[in-house]
Amino acid sequence: MTADTAYSSAQPVALSVDGLLKTFGRKTAVDNLHLDVPEGSFYGIVGPNGAGKTTTLQMCTGMLLPSAGHVSLFGQDVWENLDEARAVMGVMPQADEIFDRLTGRQLLIYVGLLHGMKREESRRRADDLMAAFGLADAGKKIVADYSTGMKKKICLAVAMIHSPRILFLDEPFEAVDPVSSANLRDILKEYVAGGGTVVISSHVMALVEKMCSHVAIIAEGTVRAAGTLEEVSAGEELEDRFFELVGGRQETAHFDWLQGGEQE
Ligand SMILES: Nc1ncnc2c1ncn2[C@@H]1O[C@H](COP(=O)(O)OP(=O)(O)OP(=O)(O)O)[C@@H](O)[C@H]1O
């Protein structure tokens, strides 16, 4: 599916976020946030540092209890049906949350078994994923010895092994080289073309513009704009709309002590 695919408002909703709130002491990280993610969409969530993207994704995936509000996945409340919700979602773990003393292949097989898959099927999918992510040559290396980008890839494979209906990916392309990034994008596009839904957070506007069908711009815990890429961009570059809606561009700082070149 491409970013210019036509979407109708009657499209079933995969993820619905309603009045989501999260406070940490006196800090409101997510502030009455609403979001509808259509089924089969490639949905990008963008926002400045500290906007509340990670906190929102953690509440959507059953990892962080909301202070108020509701999250539903395919019509079922996530927090009232955690086991069912977890079975249909794929969540990309952080590199420090996986068992890194296992090889990549062992890790994937282990995660498959945890999802209740048969060992043979787990092995088959682990091999498919290792090949698709360009990790087949590293099959015998333990994950602790992977590069940062390789760890990112194995984390994405972990999220996919049980064939979820929706994928939640927090900054999936951070530290991934351009070739691997293009390969990851292809894998995700194919997943969406097959009916899957992807929700990613990213700071890279060009990537979001290239691959997402929908986007939400969030700042200070609220949605500033959401809809199809075309609706949100409103005829401009997404980055320009982002600056308009979020603000924060500053005059170029000038430090009299910061000078390249020869010093006296
Ligand atoms: N456990 C916590 N305790 C206190 N404050 C927190 C906690 N987690 C997040 N916050 C605060 O909530 C706000 C939103 O953080 P969050 O990590 O969701 O933002 P983000 O949009 O993902 O940022 P980034 O783009 O920098 O990753 C920030 O001000 C952050 O400091």
pLDDT of the residue at 3: 41
pLDDT by residue (tens digit) across 176-189?
888 888 888 888 99
Tell me if 52 CB under 6 Å of ligand 1: yes
Closest residue CA from atom 8 of ligand 1: 55
Domain-embedded: residue 49: yes
CATH number of the domain residue 149 falls in: 3.40.50.300
Domain-embedded: residue 104: yes
At CA 49, angle to CA 39 and CA 184, rounded to 5? 45
Domain-embedded: residue 264: no
pTM: 0.90
Domain-embedded: residue 7: no
pLDDT bracket for residue 167 (50, 70, 90) = very high
- The count of domains in the chain is 1
163-167, 207-211, 250-254, range with the lowest pLDDT: 250-254
Domain-embedded: residue 254: no
CA atoms within 13 A on the CB side of 66: 26
State the residue range of the domain holding 165: 13-245
Domain-embedded: residue 8: no
pLDDT bracket for residue 2 (50, 70, 90) = very low
Domain-embedded: residue 212: yes
Domain-embedded: residue 253: no
Higher pLDDT, 140 or 105: 105
Ligand 1 midpoint to CA 173 (Å): 19
Tell me if 57 CB under 6 Å of ligand 1: no
Ligand 1 midpoint to CA 80 (Å): 25
User: Would you say the ipTM is above 0.90?
Assistant: yes
Q: How many Å is the maximal CA-CA distance in the chain?
A: 70
Q: How far is CA 162 from CA 32, 34, 54, 113, 123, in A?
A: 32, 28, 23, 9, 12
